[in-house]
């Protein structure tokens, strides 16, 4: 497989601590970004549960555990390396972007915000868990991307939300620049669509199972856009449901 690889992923991950964010967050209105920035805002309904607080072992709790790490994302398109012992807020992650199964690019991100609280929208209350990251120097994009699981307390509706504000970063390598500009839109749609499907299906299949972790471990390999050996990632994702 032709790819662009760092010499040592472990060393590259450790080196992310010295890298700054590659855009000015204070100058960017994430709610209403200026021209030149792309906004992706997606909402995927998940299985509902009774109204009121989240039900132990219910859809909201399962989905919240699944998104705590990055393994919920389709590992045939993007994979993450990070220190699981590091606090979620401020955590550095080394992402491997895998385009068409032919090209791999390593980039760095840092978790910039964590939500674990009640929100109120239009007079309605929701329980929200999620997190967002910002891109670091050397990333092929600039911006912020976040994932949340919402439960509307008045109806029991549960949904997975993904929102990104991004634009292309300066890329000095001409091969990566050409490949990124050619494939960015296609790969982004594939990634977001696959992630929506994985969250919907994994949450549904974990419900009512004697072992939700086993259900996720069985289902995860078939819920990837491309084949390949991702067993380690699937095992880590299933392990999320075994955590207390």
Q: Report how far apart, in Å, the C-alpha atoms of 109 and of each of 46, 91, 165, 170 are.
A: 27, 8, 14, 16
Closest CA to 233 of 80, 88, 5: 80
Q: Which two tokens stand for residue 70?
A: 């990055």
Contact 73, 191 (CB under 8 A): yes
Q: Check pLDDT > 50 for residue 2.
A: no
The partner residues of 96 in beta bridges, in order of sequence, read 79, 106
pLDDT tens track for 57-82: 999 999 999 999 999 999 888 999 99
Report the CATH number of the 9-240 domain.
3.30.530.20
**Where in the chain are the domains?**
9-240
pLDDT over 50 at 236, yes or no: yes
Per the DSSP assignment, residues forming a β-bridge with 143 are 166
- Which pLDDT band holds residue 197 (cuts at 50, 70, 90)? very high
> To the nearest whole number, what is the mean pLDDT of the chain?
88
* 154 pLDDT tier (thresholds 50, 70, 90): very high
Q: How many Cβ atoms from other residues are within 10 Å of residue 233's Cβ?
A: 22
Q: CB-side exposure of 152: number of CA atoms within 13 Å?
A: 15
Instruction: From 157, 134, 158, 155, select the one nearest 145 (Cα to Cα).
Output: 134
The phi, psi pair for 62, rounded to 5°, reads -60, -50
Predicted TM-score of the model (pTM)? 0.89
> Per-residue pLDDT for 202 more than 60?
yes
Per-residue buried b or exposed e for 32-56, using 16+ beta carbons within 10 Å of the residue's own CB:
ebeeebeeeeeebebbbbeeeebee
Question: In whole angstroms, what is the distance from residue 175 CA to residue 197 CA?
Answer: 31
Cα–Cα distances (Å) from 235 to 215, 216, 240, in that order, read 11, 9, 9
Region class of 16: left (phi > 0), else alpha (psi between -120 and 50), else beta? alpha
Lowest-confidence pick of 1-5, 44-48, 203-207: 1-5
Residue 7 — pLDDT band, cuts 50, 70, 90?
low
- What letter does residue 188 receive in the DSSP assignment? H
The 10s digit of each residue's pLDDT in 89-140 is: 999 999 998 875 567 788 999 999 999 999 999 999 999 999 999 999 989 8
pLDDT of amino acid 180: 65
Q: How far, in Å, CA of 139 to CA of 96, rounded?
A: 11
The 10s digit of each residue's pLDDT in 17-46 is 999 999 999 999 988 999 999 999 999 999
Is 184 a residue whose pLDDT tops 80? no
Confidence class of residue 232 from pLDDT cuts 50, 70 and 90?
confident
């Amino acid at each position: 497989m032709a790819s662009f690889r760092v010499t040592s992923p472990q060393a590259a991950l450790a080196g992310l601590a010295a890298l700054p964010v590659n855009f000015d967050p204070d100058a960017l209105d994430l709610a209403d970004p200026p021209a030149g920035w792309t906004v992706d805002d997606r909402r995927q309904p998940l299985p509902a549960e009774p109204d009121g607080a989240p039900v132990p072992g219910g859809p909201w709790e399962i989905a919240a555990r699944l998104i705590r790490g990055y393994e919920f994302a389709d590992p045939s398109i993007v994979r993450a390396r990070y220190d699981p012992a590091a606090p979620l807020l401020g955590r550095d992650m080394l992402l491997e972007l895998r385009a068409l199964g032919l090209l791999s690019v390593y980039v760095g991100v840092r978790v910039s915000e964590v939500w674990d609280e009640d929100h109120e929208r239009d007079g309605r209350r929701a329980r929200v868990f999620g997190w967002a990251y910002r891109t670091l120097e050397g990333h092929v994009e600039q911006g912020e991307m976040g994932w949340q699981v919402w439960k509307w307390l008045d109806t029991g509706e549960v949904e997975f939300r993904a929102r990104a504000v991004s634009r292309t970063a300066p890329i000095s390598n001409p091969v990566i620049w050409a490949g990124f500009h050619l494939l960015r839109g296609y790969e982004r749609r594939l990634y977001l669509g696959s992630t929506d499907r994985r969250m919907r299906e994994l949450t549904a299949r974990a419900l009512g199972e004697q072992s939700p972790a086993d259900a996720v471990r069985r289902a995860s390999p078939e819920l990837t856009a491309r084949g390949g050996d991702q067993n380690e990632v699937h095992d880590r994702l299933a392990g999320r449901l075994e955590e207390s």
